[in-house]
């Protein structure tokens, strides 16, 4: 599928609170875009406007060459005409229906035989065939998510919209189901827009990211680029992670993983079931990076990266120091510390990061 979806809309709620969105989303098969931001940022409103469940007050929504909404032209396609799959935050499975009946629900208008055939294929694809006769209260959270995905995809939608698909799960289940969801999104070959306020989900599931804060889109781009260079202090505070770099697990000793990156080896405490040779994303918060004028003697930090300062971005008493250590690394320090160390663009420093502060996510 070629082209893009263009979103330029405004929706006002009670109290004249405006939600504005302006971004483009690649419709390349299997591409997942993250709609990221804190609660109340307007993410769900944007998703519902795309699905046709809410109508913007003004603007444009275009899917490829097809206009879904145009306030000036008076165009507003009905939800069924948009052929969108929608996965609600709580999955919205009908408790009185069986799993099979839930999956068949979106296939109205087709023959009984075709509904059964499509449902059987979807149940098998998501490994829930054995649950076909059960009802939602009788299955686990992870199973419910797979059933909800099967139901959303059964009508062969052109776009999949997911509203906080992991938020209803407990922490131990969330990590496992996140891996399953990533695999499903990669396999279904349908462009997806996924809402989350969780950094780990954003980095592990998305290719592009749209950051919303206080009702407005503040930044849009590749996940790694946005996390690396937030467009201002408000976006940086919302994201909470400044460095994301790709790497590969090359070894392990006493629970400490060695990861090869473009800038050398990084050590991290094992937090997921990662094997040798596995591709990972190395995530480091700027507050966890300590700058030194030269490599110190023995200390608790396992990681030391030598690099040049490429930029210093001031934001009051706190500053972002951008380094080139063979990979881009961001340190957040106080202005007073930077002044006392005499740091400036072009200076060579050593960045120290504890292994416990490095977060690895399966890429």
- Residue 254, sorted as left (phi over 0), alpha (psi -120 to 50) or beta, turns out to be left
Residues 154 and 274 in one domain: no
State how far the alpha carbon of 347 is from the alpha carbons of 293, 294, 311, 352, in Å. Answer: 9, 11, 10, 16
Residues 249 and 235 in one domain: no
Residues 155 and 235 in one domain: yes
List the structure tokens of 16.
């004249």
Q: Name the β-bridge partners of 109.
A: none
CA distance 284 to 230: 14
Residues 294 and 309 in one domain: yes
The CATH number that applies at residue 132 is 3.40.50.300
Q: Choose among 66, 77, 93, 69: nearest CA to 152.
A: 93
CA distance 333 to 287: 7
pLDDT at site 33: 92
Whether 36 and 226 have beta carbons less than 8 Å apart is answered as no
Residues 136 and 153 in one domain: yes
Q: Choose among 320, 345, 344, 347: nearest CA to 334.
A: 320
Residues 90 and 205 in one domain: yes
Q: Choose among 238, 242, 226: nearest CA to 289.
A: 242
Q: Choose among 248, 238, 212: nearest CA to 23.
A: 212
Whether 323 and 238 have beta carbons less than 8 Å apart is answered as no
Strand order in the sheet with 358-362: 264-269, 256-261, 243-253, 279-284, 358-362
Last residue of a domain, one of 201, 221, 239: 239
How crowded is the C-beta side of 202, counted as CA atoms within 13 Å? 28
Residues 160 and 301 in one domain: no
Q: Name the β-bridge partners of 243.
A: 284
Summarised one tens digit per residue, pLDDT across range 212-270 is 999 999 999 998 888 877 777 678 778 888 888 889 999 999 989 999 998 899 999 98
Q: What is the domain extent for residue 357? A: 243-362
Angle at which helix 141-153 crosses helix 112-125, to 10 degrees, equals: 130
CA distance 283 to 289: 12
Whether 116 and 109 have beta carbons less than 8 Å apart is answered as no
Residues 188 and 277 in one domain: no
pLDDT at site 1: 44
Q: Choose among 29, 293, 43: nearest CA to 51.
A: 43
The CATH number that applies at residue 321 is 2.40.50.100
Classify residue 133 by burial, with Cβ atoms within 10 Å: 0-12, 13-18, 19+. exposed
**What residue ranges of the chain have pLDDT lower than 70?**
1-2, 29-30, 233, 294-300, 315-316
Residues 57 and 202 in one domain: yes
Residues 187 and 257 in one domain: no
Last residue of a domain, one of 239, 256, 284: 239
Residues 292 and 171 in one domain: no
Model pTM score: 0.74
Domains contained in the chain, number: 2
Residues 102 and 181 in one domain: yes
List the structure tokens of 287.
């507050």
Last residue of a domain, one of 192, 215, 239: 239
pLDDT at site 297: 53
pLDDT at site 29: 62
């Amino acid at each position: 599928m070629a082209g893009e979806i263009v979103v330029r809309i405004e929706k006002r709620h009670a109290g004249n609170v405006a939600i504005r969105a302006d971004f483009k989303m690649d419709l390349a098969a299997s591409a997942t875009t993250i709609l990221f931001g804190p609660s109340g940022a307007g993410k769900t409103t944007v998703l519902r406007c795309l699905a046709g469940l809410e109508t913007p007050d003004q603007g444009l929504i275009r899917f490829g060459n097809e206009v879904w909404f145009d306030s000036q032209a008076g165009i507003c396609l009905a939800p069924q005409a948009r052929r969108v799959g929608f996965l609600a935050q709580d999955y919205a499975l009908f408790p009185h229906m069986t799993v099979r009946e839930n999956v068949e629900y979106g296939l109205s208008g087709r023959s009984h035989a075709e509904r059964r055939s499509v449902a059987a294929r979807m149940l098998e694809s998501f490994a829930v065939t054995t649950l076909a006769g059960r009802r939602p209260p009788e299955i686990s959270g992870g199973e419910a998510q797979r059933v909800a995905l099967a139901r959303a995809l059964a009508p062969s939608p052109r776009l999949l919209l997911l509203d906080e698909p992991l938020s209803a799960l407990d922490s131990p289940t969330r990590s496992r189901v996140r891996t399953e969801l990533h695999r499903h999104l990669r396999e279904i070959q349908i462009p997806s827009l996924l809402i989350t306020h969780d950094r780990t989900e954003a980095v592990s599931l998305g290719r592009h990211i749209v950051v919303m804060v206080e009702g407005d889109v503040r930044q849009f781009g590749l996940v790694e680029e946005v996390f690396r260079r937030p467009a201002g202090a408000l976006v940086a505070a919302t994201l909470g992670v400044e460095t994301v770099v790709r790497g590969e697990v090359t070894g392990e000793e006493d629970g400490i993983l060695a990861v090869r990156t473009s800038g050398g080896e990084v050590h991290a405490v094992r937090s997921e079931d990662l094997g040798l040779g596995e591709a990972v994303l190395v995530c480091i918060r700027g507050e966890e990076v300590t700058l030194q004028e030269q490599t110190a003697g023995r200390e608790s930090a396992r990681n030391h990266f030598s690099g040049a300062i490429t930029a210093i971005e001031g934001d009051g008493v706190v500053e972002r120091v951008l380094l080139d250590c063979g990979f881009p690394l961001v340190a957040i320090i106080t202005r007073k510390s930077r002044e006392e160390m005499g740091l400036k663009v072009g200076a060579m420093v050593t960045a120290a990061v504890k292994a416990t502060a490095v977060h690895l996510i399966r890429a």
